[in-house]
A and B are shown apart, each in its own frame.
Chain A
């Protein structure tokens, strides 16, 4: 039995760009209470909506002194810089867990539930994204936007999280 203060990754949820739940896996029993798959579906949809609204709330960062023409000499590279897209909700924290959201450029969201003391969550999530792009996107039997059922992905993900949790 692990002491409760240990750094732990509890579970992972992946949401597609339409807000549908496509993957849900618990790594550590006892960290979070169990909720039904239906509730997870609702959580995914709600989070997706909240994320979209928070992204609209977030004011776009203004780039200083933008020249009118994009070929004015003196501007680095002579190209207009595009403002960073608004990021929206990234972290949600409660007394017992922390939810980190990683939104990819293609609109897929990775939600990682961890212990509040867990460090390097962004590194873990990036690695999960890498596994996703390798073992899900390169799998000819995976249909886009559909629930992920890939043995290889499961296996690699579990061994990655096990490594993190036993560190």
Chain B
């Protein structure tokens, strides 16, 4: 722990140039740590829950509608996804250190690697839209999203799903991988479908790719 704490009063710290950055006495900051070192590190779920609760109330403070609130949560997650993609690809074994090249590979990467990194387990299901009019829509299904673990949405806001934050992360990963998409989170637990009662917080992340992504996908598919 001690090697990335800023040197406060222990006398060893000094100023590095005029940047105002303070370095610990041994000169090692958080950026000196190897990227793989925190691969298996764990975080407190309670700490995250409190932080996320504050993020939601912060986003809620200057919005007028639920859509705007979800948009803000989405924006909070987006840069995380962009950065996470590079980290996770870096951590792949060198042989398979490849950016996902088609939609299925990308979605599998999200379902397995991204989910395991963020939430400690894989997403529960991956589906393609069965509606022939929307071939650009895919669904990642999580039965109980970790971000919603302690959140009860009030009745008057029943449209809201705070997993919009996780949707923003997914969107960031898709954008970073060169598959621009819109990702939204929807609660489907209330419908009395299969497993609806068992998983009241079941959330569907609807991934809607831009038309050019599908166009490219079709071209690649025709060539091979």
Contacts and interface: CB of A to CB of B under 8 A. Distances in A.
A130 to B, nearest CB: 11
Interface in A120-155: 134-135, 138-141, 149-153, 155
B151 A141 contact: yes
B152 A151 contact: yes
B119 interface: no
Interface residue SS majority, chain B: helix
A139 B150 contact: yes
A80 to B, nearest CB: 27
B50 A141 contact: no
B75 interface: no
Contacts of A149: 152, 154-155
B106 interface: no
B53 to A, nearest CB: 4
A153 B162 CA distance: 17
A138 B50 contact: yes
Size bracket, chain A contacts: 10 to 19
Contacts of A155: 200
A143 B223 CA distance: 58
Contacts of B50: 138
A141 B153 contact: yes
A12 to B, nearest CB: 17
A128 to B, nearest CB: 15
B200 A139 contact: no
A140 B46 contact: no
Contacts of A140: 52-54, 56-57, 60, 151, 162
Contacts of A150: 152
Contacts of B157: 141
13 contacts: A135-B150, A135-B152, A138-B49, A139-B150, A139-B152, A140-B60, A140-B162, A141-B157, A149-B152, A151-B152, A151-B153, A152-B152, A155-B200
Given A141-B152, A149-B155, A155-B200, 16 more contacts: A134-B150, A135-B152, A138-B49, A138-B50, A138-B151, A139-B53, A139-B150, A139-B151, A140-B52, A140-B54, A140-B162, A141-B56, A141-B157, A151-B153, A152-B150, A152-B152
Interface of B: 46, 49-50, 52-54, 56-57, 60, 150-155, 157, 162, 200
